[in-house]
Structure 1
Amino acid sequence: MEYKVEYSAPALDEFTNLRAQAKWQNPDDKTLKASIENSLFWVAVYHIDKLIGTGRIIGDGAMYFYIQDVIVAPSYQKQGIGHLVMTHIEDYLSNTCSNGATIALLSARGKESFYTQYGYVKRDGDVLGLGMCKFIK
């Protein structure tokens, strides 16, 4: 299959649809639109004109970078789309990050090995402590 890669945010409706396909909750449109617009970098993968994969970088653009919304439509999983997304993300990071920068992500349970192949380490609490998050409702 032939895929088209774009380095821009997808349309709001495309992105909410992809998130829903992945069984991710969508916040209200205003919040999601602001989040989309405030990203540092986007990768959007299309098959024909259908959004099938995304990934983006958020952060301060200097010291801290966070990989977010690496999503592949269920019917396109196990076809290399996630690797395609991560390859473009890693290219961006290698050209943007200075020595001492920190790149972080949250992995879905059971998907850690996908990210370890790109050099990410699981925070098991031994050396780096455990990651934490807070959800606002």
Structure 2
Amino acid sequence: MKKYEIKETKVIPPEQLYHLYQSVGWSRYIREFDKLTAGLKNSLKVLTAWDADKLVGLVRAVGDGATILYVQDLLILPEYQNQGVGFSLMKKLLANYPQVMQKVLMTEEAPDVRHFYEKCGFISADQGSGVAFYRFE
């Protein structure tokens, strides 16, 4: 298992941020890189995972921190996936907002993705009493 340290920071070397998003195939984010960096800057919280000076993971949340917390991004370098990095980042993020009743996220449907978020305590809208709507443009 690789070692890593979790830090709270919105200051990330652009080339490392670009590489992280590229490594997981999130090309739309890096196509409009200025929007990504502005989004990070304006996020409620950004937690990062580092192996020495190498960015290996990131989770960010948007919302008001009182009534709603929206987990916007959770990315882990492929070679660090399935080693607890994502779970640690999510656990630390959620621990910052125990008072927030509504914690939400939207992601792709895949068995491993579903399993991961259920392990983090999330319930899929198709399994609970809620309904989810979205609009991509």
Give the shorter-chain TM-score range: 0.7 to 0.9
The answer on 1:104 being equivalent to 2:108 is no
**Equivalent-residue separation in structure 2 for 1:5 and 1:74 (angstroms):** 17
Aligned position for 1:31: 35
Q: Which moved more, 1:2-11 or 1:43-52?
A: 2-11
TM-fit CA distance, 1:62: 2.0
TM-fit CA distance, 1:126: 6.2
Tell me: CA distance 1:29–1:126, structure 2 relative to 1, closer, same or farther (3 Å).
closer
Aligned position for 2:122: 120
- Given candidates 40, 44, 47, the residue that maps to 1:43 is 47
- Given candidates 91, 104, 108, the residue that maps to 1:87 is 91
TM (norm. structure 2) is 0.85
**Equivalent-residue separation in structure 2 for 1:20 and 1:134 (angstroms):** 24
TM-fit CA distance, 1:43: 1.0
Aligned position for 1:132: 133
How many residue pairs get matched?
131
SS of 1:93's equivalent in the other structure is coil
1:71-93 deviations in whole A, cap 9, x for unaligned? 11011111111111112112112
Aligned position for 1:64: 68
TM-fit CA distance, 1:3: 1.1
Aligned position for 1:7: 8
Structure 2: 5+ residue runs without aligned partners?
A: none
Aligned partners of 2:58 and 2:74 also within 8 Å? yes
1:48-76 deviations in whole A, cap 9, x for unaligned? 21111110111122211101211110111
Aligned position for 1:78: 82
Aligned partners of 2:87 and 2:120 also within 8 Å? no
Structure 1: 5+ residue runs without aligned partners?
A: none
SS of 2:96's equivalent in the other structure is helix
**Equivalent-residue separation in structure 1 for 2:105 and 2:65 (angstroms):** 15
